[in-house]
Chains A and B, each alone.
Chain A
Amino acid sequence: MSQLTGIAASSGIAIAKAYKLAIPDLSINKKEIANIDQEIDRLLKALDVSKSELEKIKEHARTSLGDEHAEIFSAHLLVLSDPELINPIKDKIETDNINAEFALNETAQMFIEMFENMENEYMRERAADIKDVTKRVMAHLLGVSFPNPALIDEQVIVIADDLTPSDTAQLNKKFVQGFTTNTGGRTSHSAIMARSLEIPAVVGTKDVTKQINEGDTIIVDGIEGKVIINPSAEEIQTYQKKQEDFELQKKEWAKLKDEPSVSKDGQHVELVANIGTPNDVEGVLNNGGEGVGLYRTEFLYMGKNELPTEEEQFDAYRSVLEQMGRDKPVVVRTLDIGGDKELPYLELPDEMNPFLGYRAIRLCLERDDIFRTQLRALLRASTYGNLKIMFPMIATLDEFRQAKAILLEEKDKLIQEGTEISESIEIGIMVEIPSTAVIARQFAKEVDFFSIGTNDLIQYTLAADRMNERVSYLYQPYHPAILNLVNNVIEAAHAEGKWAGMCGEMAGDAIAIPILLGLGLDEFSMSATSILPARTQLKELSKEELASFKDQFLSMGTADEVEAFIREKTNQ
């Protein structure tokens, strides 16, 4: 047996045989052929087999993911019966006496290049669809097996370099017990999908595809980020026990799904979720989320070549609000682009210090065309649920005032156009820049709420680039400086009768939760899968008792002292 370490992307334990999801070698040669009819027959058969596979995949996508996800496969099927694709291939076989593989490749390449050279990004992406479909036909012509994750019908662990959205869309939870990949991180697409499918996953193992052979027995430990290859009988037993414990634990958590989030001494706080797309809402509801504390709207802008239209955005916002219902709040963060999140089509110049540069609200206030489109879409969607809007990266009161003024202008315009808009939209800010945390009192008079973004607040307060591994030791959520800033923000909010929340990894952290509860935080926003564990933990914590420790941990000198203190007080 051997063992690999990666990033624990989705918790749980899976034990099963390896299924390697690798694109086979599809290299081809040009050959002269003797029998034209036979060659065309081979082509038609390969097309037929591919079509029936795609039909099955489409059916699978329809039942497991819904009609919308299945649409793409309808388009793929049409490509396989497209006369403009098939006739030229047949012609080439007939006139040039060449093999079907070569004729297919030449024709497909022509179309792929045509689409790749189109101006519109959406059209360019269609090139990938044609590649996908023709690869399948090519595999059948060459007689090599083409991976169909949708057609897996025994319990396996999927091993891949990376998983594309269409790969993950095909995974059947009944059979796919877990997966592990070479690349990716906690926030990569495959990791996010794994958490929403709730299957254990370890990503970023670097060379899992090399280390594992088809059919090897694999353990994926998504709790600790380990992959064990061909384990001994004893190890399997140990992990089966671990798996049972985890399942029992999950059942315990699930009991709390519809329970309120209250501490041992009966104090209620809101446990809400961070999401990136409307598809994430299902996971929020399944995990008993009391709302959405951070809807990152960047995904609407990323992975394409132009800005999303007002309609596109309206559809997404409306979908999230409708799914969450009237009672559960949805806090939408306006566009937070720049820093490490780039939009190539905006053609922003490279900067020496992107995290300190032109990003988020700074960009939105200058490019107010982008900002106004987003605000209009949000305002129009506001009547479909309980919408709250927050601006990211606010460093000065002026920025907040300007952003709010633009919001109110668009609101007036829409009202004049006869559009109905909710009258109770709260407007708040992310607190992630120390200047704002320090003068939170002044802000609290003007904003409706605060949401503390700890990932950035920590990097700005300790002056440690969070992308730089050599200074990662300075990423200290329990640093007393951070806790004092957080305390200042919460006190400021409460002094003005406003509420304070936190989004960012820290809000779901088992050491941070008691601290934040003691400081009086009102809303904790975290990954959906962290909500039930947090609710479980909360039941054991007394807010009053923790609040009585407040002066002690706020006056400590180091993060380690704080951590040791909290561990002792909460028996962790």
Chain B
Amino acid sequence: MAVEKTVTITDETGVHARPATVLVNKAGSYAADMNLEYNGKSINLKSIMGVMSLGIPQGAQIKIVANGSDEQEALDAIVEVIKSEGLGE
């Protein structure tokens, strides 16, 4: 069973390189498959180029989906990173 959560990006410059790097690094440390959905597209959250290619701007609603043995833990960690990086809420 997959778990998911939707967050709103509040950072003025959107998801730019530095927070994207932190997100992807974090996602990579979990076994669960993780996807990020935005604007009708779904990309692998463990892919820096995937995340960057979405060009997520301020105000965007993004959905994080985790699926795998440690899915809840992984989802919580990503949401926490989004908050602590000042990216969104």
Hey, which bits of chain A sit against chain B, CB under 8 A?
71-72, 74-75, 78-79, 81-85, 111, 114-115, 118-120, 122-123, 126, 130, 309, 311-312
**CB nearest to B46 among chain A residues:** A83
With contacts A83-B46, A122-B16, A309-B12 taken as known, whether A78 is within 8 angstroms of B25 at the C-beta atoms is: yes
CB distance from B72 to the nearest CB of A (A): 22
Q: Which of chain B's residues have a CB closer than 8 A to the CB of A79?
A: 48-49
Can you name 15 A-B pairs with beta carbons within 8 Å?
Answer: A72-B17, A74-B21, A74-B25, A75-B20, A75-B48, A78-B21, A82-B46, A82-B49, A82-B50, A83-B47, A84-B44, A115-B52, A115-B53, A126-B52, A311-B12
> What distance in Å separates the Cβ of A474 from its nearest Cβ neighbour in chain B?
46
Q: Given A74-B21, A81-B28, A118-B55, verify A130-B12 contact (CB < 8 Å).
A: no
Distance, CA A122 to CA B52, complexed state (A): 10
**B16 contacts A111, CB within 8 Å?**
no
In Å, the complex CA distance between A393 and B53 comes to 42
**Distance A79 CA – B43 CA, assembled complex (angstroms):** 15
Question: Which residues does B use to contact A, with CB under 8 Å?
Answer: 12-13, 16-18, 20-21, 24-25, 28, 43-44, 46-50, 52-53, 55
A114 and B41 CA atoms in complex are apart in Å by 15
Q: How far is the CA of A72 from the CA of B16 in the complex (A)?
A: 12
B12 near A82 (CB under 8 angstroms)? no
A-B contact count (CB 8 A): 55
Known: A311-B12, A311-B13. 14 other contacts (CB 8 A): A71-B18, A71-B21, A75-B17, A75-B18, A75-B48, A82-B50, A83-B44, A83-B47, A84-B44, A111-B49, A115-B53, A122-B16, A126-B17, A309-B13
Contact B53 A114 (CB under 8 A): yes
Known contacts A120-B55, A122-B16, A123-B55, A84 near B21 by CB under 8 Å: no
Enumerate chain B residues within 8 angstroms of A123, measured Cβ to Cβ: 52-53, 55
B residues near A311, Cβ cutoff 8 Å: 12-13
Q: A105 to B42: give the CA distance in the assembly, Å.
A: 25
Q: Which residues does chain A contribute within 8 Å of B17, judged by CB atoms? A: 71-72, 75, 126
Chain B residue with the shortest CB-CB distance to A84? B47
Among B13, B16, B24, the residue within 8 A (CB) of A78 is: B24
Q: Complex formed: what's the CA distance from A78 to B26 in Å?
A: 11
Closest B residue to A122 using CB positions: B16
Write out the residue numbers on chain A whose beta carbons fall within 8 Å of the beta carbon of B16: 122
Q: A330 to chain B: closest CB distance in Å?
A: 25
Which residues from chain A contact B49 at a C-beta distance below 8 Å? 79, 82, 84-85, 111, 130
Cα(A564)–Cα(B62), bound, Å: 71
In whole angstroms, how far apart are the Cα atoms of A82 and B27 in the complex? 12
Complex Cα–Cα for A123 and B44 (A): 18
User: Which partner residue on chain B sits nearest A85 by CB separation?
Assistant: B49
Q: Is the CB of A75 within 8 A of B21?
A: yes
Q: How far is the CA of A462 from the CA of B41 in the complex (A)?
A: 61
Per the bound structure, the CA–CA distance linking A11 and B88 in Å amounts to 48
Chain B residues with CB below 8 A from A81, complex form:
28
Check A82 against B13 for contact (C-beta < 8 Å). Answer: no
A304 CB, nearest partner CB in chain B, Å:
12
Q: Considering the chains assembled together, what is the distance between the CA atoms of A74 and B28 in angstroms?
A: 14
Instruction: Report how far A118 CA is from B16 CA in the complex, Å.
Output: 14
A353→B18 CA distance, assembly (Å): 42
Contact B55 A82 (CB under 8 A): no
When chains A and B are docked, how far (Å) is the Cα of A53 from the Cα of B30? 25
Tell me, in angstroms, the Cα distance from A335 to B85 when the chains sit together: 31
CB distance from A269 to the nearest CB of B (A): 42
Query: What are the residues of chain A within 8 A of B13 when measuring CB–CB?
Result: 122, 309, 311-312
Cα A42 to Cα B25 with chains together (Å): 25
B53 touches A82 (CB 8 A): no
Residue of B nearest to A118 (CB): B55
Complex CA distance for A123 and B52, rounded to whole angstroms: 7
When distances are taken between beta carbons in the complex, the residues of chain B under 8 Å from A111 are 49, 53
Question: Given the complex, which residues of A lie within 8 Å of B44, measured CB to CB?
Answer: 83-84
